[in-house]
A and B are shown apart, each in its own frame.
Chain A
Amino acid sequence: DAGVTQSPTHLIKTRGQQVTLRCSPISGHKSVSWYQQVLGQGPQFIFQYYEKEERGRGNFPDRFSARQFPNYSSELNVNALLLGDSALYLCASSYRGRNNEKLFFGSGTQLSVL
């Protein structure tokens, strides 16, 4: 079975641009979460979706938005990019998004903002 897949793997943008990152969860998983990992730090929670509904949002500005589609895949959008948005963006999936479930992570999208 395929794991969590993310695209693209690498992306270079300039300040002020907009970016869309994509994630396909493990087959059968209905919950998708997004994390931002800045170099030298642990991942920071951005969003969690379950059955196409937003269940949680981290401490990120409104420039960050996401959605989940009927097939449970997800997109993360970031508008008006800042240099500080440069990071590894990780997508994770789980079956029902409960706190005792482990998260399965994709390899991430490395975003560089110049």
Chain B
Amino acid sequence: AQSVTQLGSHVSVSEGALVLLRCNYSSSVPPYLFWYVQYPNQGLQLLLKYTSAATLVKGINGFEAEFKKSETSFHLTKPSAHMSDSAEYLCAVSEYNFNKFYFGSGTKLNVKP
């Protein structure tokens, strides 16, 4: 079975600072990888997805992620944090052949003024 590890359950940055949220996966085949954001009392919203077309993936709200096969990583970054970025971020990998998603445990991002 596949698994996803998100290092750091809570990350706190100042407004304008770099955001780096870490995600490592285990997969025996080339994976499809996703980052979702979850605001309180809301469902998950897709930020970006990697499907082998390009290793650097740009998403919504200025976020991007880089797929590194040698490190089995798919870290999420944003050059300059906004207060509105405060939310929970979930990394996921989908099962081969159909979209059963394995989610990490999530990272709560707190952006301080």
Interface residues of A (CB under 8 A from B): 3-4, 31, 33, 35, 40-45, 48, 50, 55-56, 58, 90, 92, 94, 97-108
Q: Are B100 and A56 in contact (CB under 8 A)?
A: yes
Q: Are B99 and A94 in contact (CB under 8 A)?
A: yes
Q: Are A107 and B42 in contact (CB under 8 A)?
A: yes
| Bound-complex Cα distance A100 to B46 (A) | 13
Interface residues of B (CB under 8 A from A): 4, 6, 9, 32, 34, 36, 41-46, 49, 51, 90, 92, 94-106
Q: Are A48 and B103 in contact (CB under 8 A)?
A: no
Q: Are B98 and A100 in contact (CB under 8 A)?
A: no
From B96, B99, B104, contact of A97 by CB (8 A): B99
Q: A42-B105, A45-B101, A90-B43 are in contact. Are A99 and B90 (CB under 8 A)?
A: no
Residues in A whose Cβ lies below 8 Å from that of B49: 100, 102
